[in-house]
Chains A and B, each alone.
Chain A
Amino acid sequence: MKKKLNNHIDKDGYYGNYGGSYIPEILYNNVNELNKKYNSIIAGKAFRKEFESLLKNYVGRPTPLYFAANLSEQFKAQIFLKREDLNHTGSHKINNAIGQVLLAKHLGKKRIIAETGAGQHGVATATVCALMGLECFVYMGKKDVERQAPNVSRMKMLGATVIPVLSGSQTLKDATNEAIRDWMNNTENTYYLIGSVVGPHPYPDLVTKFQSVISAEIQQQLKSITGEPSPDYVIACVGGGSNAAGAFYHFIDSDKTKLIGVEAAGKGIDTGYTAATLNIGTPGIIHGSKTFLIQNNDGQITEPHSISAGLDYPGIGPLHSFLHETKKASYLSATDEEALIAGMNLTKKEGIIPALESAHALAALEKIKFKSNDVVVVNLSGRGDKDLDTFINYLNKKENA
């Protein structure tokens, strides 16, 4: 963030053709206020000092860049894992939650609302709200409340109110709708803490900037390990796309580094049970942003499917739509099954149980032909504790088969 980078966003919040702010008038003031103030607040000395201090002392940054020798041998490349799973609360989501809660405090907002899919963003938000003494309400699809029970308990223990969302597909999309509606009904005292690089401008940029600490650290760490700050590949899973945006950020204009996003194919991209937005979607408007989304001919947003609650989203951050269109990044996909296998593989080979989201990124290692000296960074966005049930069910099924 210190280095002036071309972040590819114009003054109206568009990355090329994507982004912008498609919001009802009721939210105009809130979004406009945020838009006018965010850059100067987050660039301010006091803000930076507090943010960096919390990332270091509370979150435990920098997270290790771990050379995975066994994976490297398996895939015949130099594979490093960026260990975002070792952050406090177990994923990269905390980077953004801390940044935005500090921002909310600067804006004088006392009530924080958030949406969550896997519950990682909800937990991160509830955690920072507990730390800062702010009221916290988390919207979560009913289906996700059920499949991510440990995270629901954590949020409650942290003092947050978890509101199960019964509308639509009862997953992240609908949780986001409800959070936005809450915001419309409580504009004056409420800050909406979006968990991914989605939503109306300036959220995609804001969240990208808070997450860009990931690629900044990768550069420094790689330089000290290999002498060269840019890897040949950065691989990250993409739902809304915040961990990928953070892992890609400092490499977006690098000629050397290939950026690989991995979407959740669900049961397969042609099955109708998928969340692979860039692979099968078309441009439209979702949650206040123009971007790719999965929709039918009538413009109705389709219910996505992924085994991973954090990737089960029919849209994608506008930055990724832009990187996709301009071919600055490539977007592969991994099925539920491929992710489970890759997650088990990491567990057995390296002794690390990854989140199902991150397991999608690992699954891409099978799909790319590397040269043996290629330096490959996989962003291990979260840990797998929350997904144990899913992993265990899968193993049991396999044993019984």
Chain B
Amino acid sequence: MHNRIDKLFKTKASNIVSIYTTAGFPKLNDTLSVIKALDKAEVDLIEVGIPFSDPLADGETIQKSSTIALENGMTLKLLFEQLKNLREISEKPVILMGYLNSVLQYGIEEFYKQCNVCGIDGIILPDLPLGEFEKSHKQFTDKYNIHAVFLISPLTDKKRIVQIDKLSKGFVYLVSSNSTTGKTQDPMKATEQSIKEITKLKLKNKILIGFGINNAKTFNQACSLANGAIIGSEYIRRISNSTNIEKTTIEFIKEIKTGIYDHSIK
């Protein structure tokens, strides 16, 4: 079955730019305009966060964006309505990222079915245990052609990395350090060591690095170690006060790709 994530990696396996954005942020109806802007800015992958009241794995910036989105009136039901027209505006791979409780309350099968209807290619649920995925989700991700992406951290042991790689489809998400999103001081130090170990394991999936990637420097470092990187908090920060999301987005991605803006020396 055709999946845009696989298609992407067939043609491009390095310097992958993946951007995270929170659905319904900064304004309720910005979800699609942000995706459109990211498409125009030529990112490779788009991750859309399902806002949750208690986002345990997220740092302050993304937490705040979630709170604002919820105050705007965002719900998972509304998100699927907004995403009905997704494939009219972009052919980029789109991944939904959220917390298990949202999926449980929506209904597990119904969730994956709607993902499929909207043209969603993958999901990341950081608090979904592997065993529970196999027991109650895998049948539906298979049925509806949704790639489940799992996280590994620098502390994940080899045996578990192999297990996670086996269950992941598309790529595995390597957390650059042990922290919540957007909080990292020197994200690449621990990552360098773990990448060395991980490379020896010859994983079937591509590896994208996330957490703490916030400028061209860290993006380049991540790309030198893996197939690409995921940027969340910094992008959220940029668009939160933007009067022109498209312009802000295009400029930001350009900075990341060309390295003309170095956040660390500001």
Contacts and interface: CB of A to CB of B under 8 A. Distances in A.
B151 interface: yes
Interface string A1-29: 00000000000100000001111111011
Given A167-B63, A300-B70, A25 B156 contact: yes
Nearest to B156: A25
A21 B63 CA distance: 22
Interface in B149-194: 150-153, 155-157, 160, 164, 175, 178-180, 183
A298 B127 contact: no
A245 interface: no
Given A25-B175, A29-B156, 11 more contacts: A22-B100, A22-B127, A24-B127, A25-B126, A26-B57, A29-B155, A168-B54, A184-B56, A285-B127, A298-B76, A299-B101
B152 A298 contact: no
B99 A285 contact: yes
Contacts of B67: 167-168
A297 interface: yes
B196 interface: no
A217 to B, nearest CB: 36
A12 B134 CA distance: 15
Interface string B35-57: 00000000000000000111011
Contacts of A173: 54
A25 B102 contact: no
B57 to A, nearest CB: 4
A286 B153 contact: no
Contacts of B128: 22
Given A22-B100, A24-B151, A286-B101, A301 B53 contact: yes
24 contacts: A20-B129, A21-B129, A24-B57, A26-B175, A26-B178, A28-B153, A28-B156, A29-B153, A29-B156, A167-B67, A173-B54, A177-B56, A185-B178, A188-B178, A284-B104, A285-B100, A285-B104, A285-B127, A286-B54, A286-B101, A287-B54, A298-B76, A298-B105, A301-B53
B106 to A, nearest CB: 7
Contact of B127 (A23, A181, A185, A187): A23
A181 B153 CA distance: 15
B132 interface: yes
Sorted nearest first, the 9 A-B pairs with minimum C-beta distance are A299-B105, A300-B53, A298-B75, A24-B57, A25-B151, A285-B101, A24-B126, A22-B127, A299-B102
Given A298-B76, A300-B52, A184 B127 contact: no
B77 interface: yes
A181 B62 CA distance: 13
A23 B99 CA distance: 10
A188 B126 CA distance: 20
Contacts of A25: 126, 150-153, 156, 164, 175
A168 B53 CA distance: 8
A284 B132 CA distance: 14
Given A28-B156, A28-B160, A184-B57, A299 B127 contact: no
Contacts of A167: 63, 67
B131 A12 contact: yes
Interface in B11-64: 52-54, 56-57, 59, 63
A268 interface: no
B106 A185 contact: no
A356 B94 CA distance: 50
B166 to A, nearest CB: 15
A288 interface: yes
B120 to A, nearest CB: 18
Contacts of B127: 22-24, 285, 288
A21 B152 CA distance: 16
Interface string B91-107: 00000000111111110
Interface in A323-382: none
Contacts of B63: 167
Nearest to B66: A300
Contacts of B102: 298-299
Contacts of B104: 283-285, 299
A275 interface: no
Nearest to A302: B53
A111 to B, nearest CB: 14
Contacts of A28: 153, 155-156, 160
A127 interface: no
Nearest to B103: A299
Given A22-B129, A288-B127, A299 B153 contact: no
A223 B3 CA distance: 68
Contact of A284 (B56, B75, B105, B153): B105
